[in-house]
Amino acid sequence: MKQYLESFARDESGAVTVDWVVLTALVVTLLAAGYGLMESATTDTAGATATYMTDWSF
């Protein structure tokens, strides 16, 4: 059993997969946070622009 655990600890065959999973999760998290920030800022800017332009006449 000890020899199996030592062999398992030295084996790096799945390390690249774990790296990609972690990096992908980080990118998805950052994109989701960025979308939330941009969505609220865009909505606020559009509302402010609409309020500013209500008095315009063409």
pLDDT in tens, 1-58: 889 888 888 887 777 888 899 999 999 999 999 998 899 889 999 999 999 999 888 7
Q: Given this model, what pLDDT does residue 37 score?
A: 86
Largest CA distance in the chain: 84
Q: Given this model, what pLDDT does residue 42 score?
A: 93
In the block, tokens 């609409």 appear at: 50
Structure pTM?
A: 0.53
Cα(23)–Cα(21) distance, integer angstroms: 6
Q: Given this model, what pLDDT does residue 12 score?
A: 77
In the block, tokens 């799945």 appear at: 14
DSSP 44: H
